[in-house]
Amino acid sequence: MDGKKVILSGIQPSGILTIGNYLGAIRNWGAMQDEYDCLFMLADLHTLTVKQDPACLRANTYELTALYLACGLDPVKSVLFLQSHVSAHTELTWILNTVSYPGELSRMTQFKDKSLKHADNINMGLMDYPVLMAADILLYQADVVPIGADQKQHLELTRDLAIRFNNRYSETFKVPEAYIGKVGAKIYSLQEPDKKMSKSDENVNAFISMDDDTDTIMRKFKRAVTDSGSEIRRAEDKPGITNLINIYSLFANKTPEETEKEFDGVSYAEFKMRTGEAVAAVIEPIRAEKNRLLKDKGYIDQLLAQGAEKAEYLANKTLRKVYKKVGLLPRVRI
């Protein structure tokens, strides 16, 4: 890498992404890739901490890789790879386990939440999840880690582990900073606009998936909940319309003020239709490109192999340093 700051971003290949994920993260990559050395990792090992159907996991991994590429991730500028392809991730996890305490891991909010949600499968991986995540980050000496607010605690732990290791064995890891996306990413449910848009909502009309076709998008916006009154204007007592104004603005590249002006005097029904059109105009070409890429799994395999090779080179540099510092003998090549 060439002296630019390093960004590592990780996402689990576990099902659909919504336009909230797109606006909050994926959309900003284009610019990011020039300014930073970016590593985009699919955290496939993390998904195994809850039950996965193996065939679904394979399909989801291809889907998400293709979606990333379709959204403009450039595999020449950035490193795109699978966590499971670079064994240094699990190897560093072991070392970091020796400086992690069960107390701090069992106190993690996500561990507690998931233990309740998956009470029949509280496994060691679920508890060790943040240590694997710390390994993901520390291996690449990442400066910045873009995360959702729900991962903040895990990043704090990563920093703690880095500092703890550095104090015990001398300076080894860069202590990373979190980057938590801006408010522009706050997209609410189309059905209950006081709730965040979520891919796990039982009501499929509540969210727009990156895999929805134009008809589906139009239908969902038509059914979107609005508020009393008839003006297209943001207001605290108009969460439905406010959400739609934000969505339209983000997809049409306008400010909310411009959107309000543009739709002055227009009916809710018309505005909902225009919002659907603006969203579909962005999503449809991405979906088409993703589906085109998915037809050639061999090509995706090749890209992931190239990504793994680049990632592995960087990761092994750190791992070797770590092994040496803790006193493991270097393996001599014969």
Active site residues per annotation: 114, 196, 199
Residue 279: Cβ within 10 Å count:
24
- 136 binding ligand TRP? (CB under 6 A): yes
- Given the rule CB under 6 A, which of 10-18, 213-221, 230-238, 260-268 is the region that contacts ligand TRP? 10-18
* Backbone CA torsion sign across 119, 125, 131, 136: negative
CB of 185 to ligand TRP, least distance (A): 14
Q: Which is nearer to ligand TRP, 28 or 216 (CB)?
A: 28
Size of the site for ligand TRP (CB under 6 A): 14
Sequence-distant (6+) residues with CB within 8 A of 303 are 65, 69, 75, 80
Largest CA distance in the chain: 78
Report the residue from 80, 127, 133, 206 that binds ligand TRP according to the rule CB under 6 A. Answer: 133
Minimum distance, C-beta of residue 163 to ligand TRP, in the bound complex (Å): 17
Q: Are 172 and 322 in contact (CB under 8 A)?
A: yes
Does residue 315 interact with ligand TRP by CB under 6 A?
no
Contact call for residues 147 and 109 (beta carbons, < 8 A):
no
Could you say which of 137, 244, 280, 293 contacts ligand TRP (CB under 6 A)? 137
Q: DSSP character for 319?
A: H
What are the b/e assignments for 35-64, b being 16+ CB within 10 Å? Answer: ebbbbbbbbbbbbbbbebeeeeeeebbbbb
* Least gap, CB of 154 to ligand TRP (angstroms): 6
Least distance in Å: CB of 134 to ligand TRP? 8
Sole window of 56-64, 143-151, 208-216, 309-317 interacting with ligand TRP (rule: CB under 6 A):
143-151
In total, the chain counts a number of residues equal to 334
Helix count and strand count (H, E) for the chain: 14, 5
Amino acid making up residue 79 = V
Using CB under 6 A, pick the residue from 19, 25, 26, 43 that binds ligand TRP. Answer: 43
β-strand partners of 9 = 40
226 contributes a contact to ligand TRP by CB under 6 A? no
CA distances from 299 to 39, 75, 302 (A): 19, 12, 5
* 221 strand-pairing partners: none
Q: How far is CA 312 from the centre of its chain?
A: 21
Considering beta carbons, is residue 43 or 294 the nearer one to ligand TRP? 43
- Nearest approach in angstroms of CB 84 to ligand TRP is 12
Q: Which is nearer to ligand TRP, 93 or 249 (CB)?
A: 93
Residue whose CB is less far from ligand TRP, 10 or 75: 10
Q: Are 259 and 234 in contact (CB under 8 A)?
A: no
Select from 9-17, 65-73, 291-299, 314-322 the region that touches ligand TRP (CB under 6 A): 9-17
Residue from 46, 114, 220, 238 in contact with ligand TRP (CB under 6 A): 46
Contact status: 249 vs ligand TRP (CB under 6 A): no
Residue pair 48/274 in contact by the 8 Å Cβ criterion: no
Least separation in angstroms between CB 280 and ligand TRP: 27
* Residue nearest ligand TRP, CB atom distance: 10
Contact positions vs ligand TRP (CB under 6 A): 8-12, 43, 46, 133, 136-137, 145, 147-148, 151
